[in-house]
Amino acid sequence: MKKLRVFFAVLICKTIRFMAKLLGRGSSLPGAITLKLFPSILSDIKLPETIIAVTGSNGKTSTVEMIANVIEKSGKTVAYNKEGSNQIEGVTTLILSDCTLSGKMRSEILLLESDERYARHTFKYFHPTYYVITNLYRDQLTRNGHPEWVYNVISESIYDDMTLVLNADDPLVSRFGYKRDKVRYFGANHLDSDTTVNDSIYNDGAYCPVCKQPMKYDYYHYNHIGSYHCTSCDYKRPETDWSLTEANLEKGYITIDDKYKIELSFTSIYHCYNTLAAFAACDLAGVDRNIIAEELSNYSLHSGRIQKFVIGNTRGTLLASKHENSISYDRSIDVAIKDAENVNVMIIVDAVSRKYFTSETSWLWDIDFEKLKNVNEIVLAGRYCYDLAARFEFTETDNNKIKLFVSIPEAVDYLKQSGKYLYVITCFSDMNKFLTLADKLEV
């Protein structure tokens, strides 16, 4: 009976997948239909011995892409959700598409990007061997509630047999490992770019996640990411199993565990963390560390996070950020202001989300836009340009530097003539509205 069920489930899923591809449909539909017919099919599949799952607010897609690349280059086969369908339907499509008709996955490693809210449904049916959690930020509160709400939801997807692989520098994430046996940590040692004060708009590490008493930080890498300890209980940043021992963002490289030097194609602190998380996961998957370092070196992401472009006389870089996610904006701003006086910055908020409707712009007030005050010119574009403009009124930015355009094409026409290097900061929901008007360049 089980054999027959598996046979039909795999067959149906693959057939629908084939047809869906012809029709240009997404990768979650085949899994969705199969799950309707066989709700617990995932528990009937013979999965590979090594299953890696990655969840968290930011960096899931990039981290998964890097892990997949390293594993493939090391000569092992890996199945992963490269289209980012990270809820149970997409995961089902991925797994069944990789199966023989007898229900055995062909790939040696299964690698999953898991939506932080849906992992609890997926992991009812099977458990990842290694469960990587990148960070927990204020992210899409219109869906997610708040970081601690998400923490509790993720907790429901964690089982004793999993090895958690946690970001030690994020106090809410490392709490998953508090008083737990099967846990490993990655994190950054003291870096030259650290600060001793948190100068961002808010500090989500101000209070201990365990006992709610004030926390103290020895240093911050950015926002609430750093080295912390509770002033009351024994909660503190744990010792790390993989450490970023150097991050030279000027020269564009990092060093892991004082030994493995990795050249970066994109120098931002969050890319360093994603790279470190990928290093840890590949190490656990049994790839030789030298090979990991070699393959991560100069790896440029395909998932379109960073896009160089030309418009008219103007060259620039688009930094895909996430609307409804202030930390992702803060990090993009850090990239844009490295040479502040000589660059223009364009911010587009046109559709707050691409997946659902919301008109919510509170998150703009959590972004440290103050840091942009020294750039040459700031262009605010899209339907919500007035919300952006209102936010900038409460910074020290000279009002003459700011231009408003509801129309993105008009904003682009204006910027074409400038000739100054342009950073465009916007979300996946809006970036193609800009990129279709630009010539894309290979990174």
Partner 1 sequence: MIKVLYLYHDIMNLYGDNGNIRFLEKALKDQGQEVEITRKTVGDKLDDLNEYDVIYCGPGMESNRNVCLKHLSQYKKELLEAYNNDKVFLFTGNSYEMFGSDLKGLYDCPDKGIGFFDFNVTEQSEKRYTADVIVTTDLFSEKCVGFINKCSKLSDYKSPLFRIVGKVGNTNSECDGIHERNFFGTQLIGPVLIKNPYFARYFIKTILKTKEIEDYKEVEYPNIMKGYETTINELSKDI
Judged by beta carbon, residue 145 or residue 419, the one nearer partner 1 is 145
Instruction: Give 3-state DSSP helix, strand, coil % of the chain, rounded to 5.
Output: 35, 25, 40
Residue from 43, 359, 417, 436 touching partner 1 (CB under 8 A): that is: 359
Q: Decide if residue 232 touches partner 1 (CB under 8 A).
A: no
* Contact region with partner 1 (CB under 8 A), list: 11-19, 159-167, 197-205, 256-264: 197-205
Judged by beta carbon, residue 144 or residue 317, the one nearer partner 1 is 144
* Contact region with partner 1 (CB under 8 A), list: 159-167, 257-265, 284-292, 361-369: 361-369
Distance CA 317, CA 300 (A): 14
CB of 146 to partner 1, least distance (A): 5
In this structure, the strands spanning 253-256 and 242-248 are: antiparallel
Distance CA 253, CA 267 (A): 8
CB of 136 to partner 1, least distance (A): 11
Task: Read off the tokens for 359.
Answer: 């008109």
The dihedral sign for the CA sequence 394, 397, 400, 404: negative
Residue from 7, 178, 202, 414 touching partner 1 (CB under 8 A): that is: 202
Judged by beta carbon, residue 65 or residue 330, the one nearer partner 1 is 330
Judged by beta carbon, residue 253 or residue 386, the one nearer partner 1 is 386
Residue from 20, 201, 291, 437 touching partner 1 (CB under 8 A): that is: 201
Distance CA 153, CA 378 (A): 39
CB of 310 to partner 1, least distance (A): 31
# residues near partner 1 by CB under 8 A: 38
Q: How many helices (H) and strands (E) does the chain have?
A: 14, 18
Judged by beta carbon, residue 203 or residue 303, the one nearer partner 1 is 203
Judged by beta carbon, residue 148 or residue 218, the one nearer partner 1 is 148
Residue from 193, 303, 358, 418 touching partner 1 (CB under 8 A): that is: 358
In this structure, the strands spanning 225-230 and 215-222 are: antiparallel
| CB neighbour burial string for 218-246, b if at least 16 within 10 angstroms, e if fewer | ebbbbbbbbbbbbeeeebbbbebbbbbbb
Residues in 383-442 that interact with partner 1 by CB under 8 A: 383-384, 386-387, 389-391, 393-394
Q: Decide if residue 178 touches partner 1 (CB under 8 A).
A: no
Under 8 Å CB-to-CB from 39, ≥6 apart: which residues?
Answer: none
Q: Decide if residue 205 touches partner 1 (CB under 8 A).
A: no
CB of 59 to partner 1, least distance (A): 21
In the chain, the amino acid numbered 344 is: N
Q: Decide if residue 89 touches partner 1 (CB under 8 A).
A: no
The dihedral sign for the CA sequence 174, 179, 185, 191: positive
Residues in 131-160 that interact with partner 1 by CB under 8 A: 138, 141-149, 152
Task: Read off the tokens for 421.
Answer: 């290097």
Residue from 75, 357, 396, 442 touching partner 1 (CB under 8 A): that is: 357
CB of 405 to partner 1, least distance (A): 13
Which strands form 78-80's sheet, in the order they lie side by side?
Answer: 78-80, 109-113, 50-55, 130-133, 163-167, 183-188, 242-248, 253-256, 260-263
DSSP class per residue in 97-143: HTB-TTSBB-SSEEEEE--TTTHHHHTTT---SEEEE-------HHH
CB of 356 to partner 1, least distance (A): 9
CB of 148 to partner 1, least distance (A): 4
Distance CA 350, CA 430 (A): 6
Residues in 321-340 that interact with partner 1 by CB under 8 A: 326
The site for partner 1 (CB under 8 A) is made up of: 138, 141-149, 152, 201-203, 206-207, 212, 214, 326, 357-366, 383-384, 386-387, 389-391, 393-394
